[in-house]
Structure 1
Amino acid sequence: MSTNPQAERPYKGNDRLLFGIIMGVVAFWLFAQTTLNVAPDMGRALGLSASVMNVAVAITSLFSGIFIVVVGGLADRVGRLKITRIGFYLSIVGSLLVAITPQGHLAAPVILLGRALQGLSAACIMPASLALVKAFWDGPERQRAISMWSIGSWGGSGLCSLVGGLMSQNFGWRSIFWVDIVVCLLGLWMMRGAPESKVETKGEYKFDLSGVLTFMVTMVALQVLVTQGNKLGWTSPVGLALWVVLIAFGWMFLRIENRKRSAFFDFGLFRNPIYTGATISNFLINGTAGTLIVSLQLVQIGGGMNAQQAGFLTLGYAVAIIAFIRVGEKLLQRFGPRKPMIWGCLITGLAIVMVSPANLMLTDYKFFAIAGYSLFGIGLAFYATPSTDAALSNLPAAQTGAGSGIYKMASSLGAAFGVAISAAIFTALNGNGADWLAGMVTFVGRQDNLAVREAAMIALGFNVLMVAVAILSIMLTIPKATKERV
């Protein structure tokens, strides 16, 4: 492969371009992800069931995860800046559809289409913008750019519950998506004048249609099983059919991608253990997004709080993740990626444990939740920049977009499945609860919401398990620094 001359000419990324890119990241993580908190308000206003709203919450991350690798590979070839701009346009259209969703029989298809387009926009913006960061920044400047980018993504995810709750309570949930459109327009304006960045392939490039299609069918079957398996019945005819589709198409996808020279999903990237460890742990840590939907629904359904009140509990999360992102950058420069990634996971696990004691009175639980969310933000901040830099630093220049796409696919699918599985556990148990847990833990205060509290504790325990596996993956793949950096 040869680099496009336009990308070879000296160009140093500036703050205007960087913050323009970050506007696209913010459009997804700060605004599109507010549905984690305001989904109950949206469902009540539109007359949609909790199961439909769970799908609306997860479908954005699912569509992002399905297409992010494909689009990342296209960005390397057709232009990373061009794909980033396309992502902005899709975000505008998707947000518009969600903002104008009508009540009645059209509510579900309109909101699901809008949320799917928001996922497609993320599939464009995330890998292409990360590829631009690697192309236009280097060394400590690149680490700074990654930190700022991470503030937009991880910081946005930290603020989304608070911002969503405030806007929904005071201006209506539709206002969130109108503001999202304004943010996208601002980002497009700030990116004006930047040169294109891409690589050119020698020879004919063939789009991997069969690989993409089998991957999509596999992911959709898996998502339906995760979100609707309990309702459909795991061993019902429909449930069994989904299992067959999942296994058959998953097997076909693996065979196709291992045989094709132009495969859209390059498994060869995983020969690098550092990239592998960063990607696997990224999937698992993003899966702890399920902590948000469970704990926020716990205090709303079980404690009678509204979305704004629940969102305020996450204020420490938002402040901490923004304040400590650059601390993670400094830890990376001092110790390498392994130690801050492990420290971040340990703190995140402790945070989830602190938001888990649903057996307490609501007044006491609030203090644990506030402290837990603050630690959640610190843990993710420690992890974010070291993990992202480890992944980017170990990518070939010609595969920056595709490799970034796989890394960000791990984020999106991790969040999608983490939210879906946590919500599925919570929804399945909050009707009848878990008698065995009631025999082990004493629940004080109200007893009429016992099932909800038991369901939340079990669902949050699943998130702790994901953190434990993430730590193990880092320990097995990320090497120790040969010496501490000064």
Structure 2
Amino acid sequence: MTSELSTSEAATPTSPPEATPSDPRRGNLTLAAVLLAVLVVPMSISGTAVALPAISSDIGGGASGQQWVVNAFNLSFACFTLVWGSLSDRFGRGRLFAAGAATFTVGSVASTLAPNIVVLDVARGVAGLGGAAIFSCGAAILSSAFDGPARLRAFALFGTTAGIGVALGPTLSGLLVDTAGWRPIFAVQAAVLLVVLAATPAIGLGRPAGDAAAKFDLLGTVLLVLGLLAAMVGIVQGEPWGWGSPAVVASFVLAVALLVAFARVESRRPAPLLDLELLTHARFMALCLVPVAASFGFVTLLTYFPTFLQFVAGQSSAKAGLVIVLLTIPVVVGPLAAGRAVGAGVNPLVVIWISLGALIAGDLGTSAGGPRHGGRGHRGAAAPCGLRNGTVRRSRRRSGARPRPRGEGGYGCGSGEHDATGQRGHRGRGVRGAAHRSRHPQGRGSAGRRRRRGQCGGRHRQGRER
């Protein structure tokens, strides 16, 4: 790191500052610790999907259990990003960043040692809880630790590092699964975060000087988390339990009731967890819908496409990871290209429209490639999907939307949406059921043999009649 990454001026001695001092080396160590932690979170999201078939073969769990390996992380991440941001104003960003890194480490270690799918699902939820703190508090640390051009460079590295994590996750996980199994994936993540924890003293653990302790909205937090949890249970368990079953209907009714109560409570709070006034700004809401589109068109593909490539196309974990690289590399390149285009005078909304067009083209191309092509038909279509997700991150920041750092996390948005597509159309079997039927359209076992014999017998009878 260059000396340009200088830190902000030291705060008054009456309150220990959270921002790094003027020492460039300490500032660079703070930046390195934040970026290293940020690298692990998207790597865990994109890399875990590649390991799902190996996890199923080792500890079982069925389609629903496998979905919760991904969904538990996403649910925790989405629910607690706002919560960690609110708590950091009260207890200090550096302190909660360290707590998040420790929580993620504990979740990763528990995932490595998980004896069954239930323990693994819970451990992934714990890791998602820590990941939310890393992203929320990490961005706040960089904002308070750097000023001017140094802050711009720090946030550019923040976004690029997240893109590298998304791109690196499938490849690294695929290689580890083929060589050492799925458990080392989580062990590597824990090892990296132990290094981050060793560097956290350089960040500073106190509240920034001059910041008053903010009030924490406990009731709003409980209502939001429970409401999203009830909605997620209904979406994920709708297929195996039946969409009209009492448990699923009760989950959706409870979710609606809790979220309505959350909205009413937040509208009356002087310091709400979520400022509902933002929902009245049409431009802000329109731009917030862009990452929702990414959740449907990109994150869903990133989550379930590796399983499709392995079960339907018959590819190894390593090869599936390499195919996913085509989907994730544009996430690294896209922000740089979008930043240069906007800097050259291109309207940010034009960049957003181009990126959404790339998403649509990529998803349509991916849908056109069937299992009989062995995954080859999807490779050319994967890159446009990733290009959309990469370019839109940079252009959204310059499009005039009212900034809201605590609620802007792209990974948190739409965590429920990509659950809704996971099991659609195949009751109780999900991706693996679809894969089985794609490979064996005539069926397997006695029923399939009877159908095949019936077809052959019909042809013989026609020959004898002729």
Aligned-partner Cα distance in 1 for 2:34–2:398: 17
Structure 1 counterpart of 2:44: 31
Deviations 1:258-291 (A, max 9, x none): 1111221222344555544443322331343111
Matched, 1:411 2:411: yes
Aligned match for 1:448, one of 434, 440, 447: 440
Structure 2 match to 1:98: 111
Confirm or deny that 1:85 pairs with 2:94.
Answer: no
Q: Does 1:296 align with 2:306?
A: yes
**Structure-to-structure mapping, 1:102-121, within 5 angstroms:** 102=115, 107-121=116-130
Percent identity, please: 19
Residue 240 of structure 1: which of 249, 252, 255 is its match? 249
SS of the residue 1:313 aligns to: helix
Matched residue type, 2:61: L
Instruction: Give SS of 2:178's match.
Output: helix
Residue ranges of structure 2 left out of the alignment (5+ in a row): 1-10, 444-466
SS in structure 2 opposite 1:231? helix
Compute the displacement of 1:447 (Å): 7.1
The equivalent position to 2:240 in structure 1, one of 228, 231, 235, is 231
Q: 2:357 aligns with which of 346, 358, 361?
A: 346
Question: 1:88: how far off?
Answer: 0.7
Q: 1:308 pairs with 313, 318, 323, which one?
A: 318
1:118-267 equivalence runs, <5 A: 118-195=127-204, 196=206, 198=208, 206-267=215-276
Looking at structure 2, the residues matched to 450 and 315 of structure 1 have their Cα atoms a distance apart, in angstroms, of 34
Corresponding residue to 1:63 among 67, 76, 82: 76
AA paired with 1:448? Answer: H
Letter in 2 for 1:27: V
User: Secondary structure at the residue paired with 2:408?
Assistant: helix
Secondary structure in 2 matching 1:264 = coil
TM-score for both structures, normalised by structure 2 = 0.81
Which entry has the higher C-alpha Rg, 1 or 2?
2
- Structure 1 residue 208, shift from structure 2 partner: 1.8
Q: Is the 8 A contact 2:18 2:94 kept in 1?
A: no
Identify which range, 339-348 or 43-52, moves more after superposition. Answer: 339-348
1-structure distance, mates of 2:270, 2:285: 21
Match for residue 277 of structure 2 among 268, 276, 283 = 268
- Whether contact under 8 Å (1:84, 1:124) holds in the other structure is yes
Whether 1:357 and 2:343 are equivalent positions in the alignment is no
Structure 1 pair 271–134 and aligned structure 2 pair: CA distance change class (3 A): farther
| Deviation at residue 205 of structure 1 after TM alignment | 5.0
> Cα deviation per residue 1:372-423 (whole Å; 9 max; x = unaligned)?
22223322221122335668x844xxxxxxx422112x53241x22331121
- Are residues 1:45 and 2:58 paired? yes
CA distance in 1: counterparts of 2:209 and 2:261, whole angstroms: 30
Aligned to 2:292: 283
In structure 1, what residue type is equivalent to 2:161?
G
TM-score normalised by the chain length of structure 1: 0.78
User: Structure 1: which 5+ residue stretches go unaligned?
Assistant: 396-402, 434-445, 452-486
Instruction: Call closer, same or farther: CA 1:31–1:191 in 2, change over 3 Å.
Output: same
Measure the CA separation in 2 of the matches of 1:418 and 1:115.
Answer: 18
2:405 & 2:421 partners in 1: Cα distance? 26
Q: Deviations over 1:46-92 (max 9, x none)?
A: 12212111012111010111111011111123211211111110111
Task: Find the partner of 1:330 among 340, 362, 382.
Answer: 340
Take 1:431 and 1:86, find their aligned partners in 2: how far apart are those partners?
A: 37
Alignment match of 2:383 (pick from 368, 374, 390): 374
| More relative contact order, 1 or 2 (CA 8 Å, 6+ apart) | 1
**Secondary structure, aligned partner of 2:411:** helix
Shift of 1:254: 0.8
Moved more, 235-244 or 45-54: 235-244
Question: How many residues were matched structurally?
Answer: 421
Q: What amino acid does structure 1 have at the position aligned with 2:343? A: Q
- SS of equivalent residue, structure 1 residue 22: helix
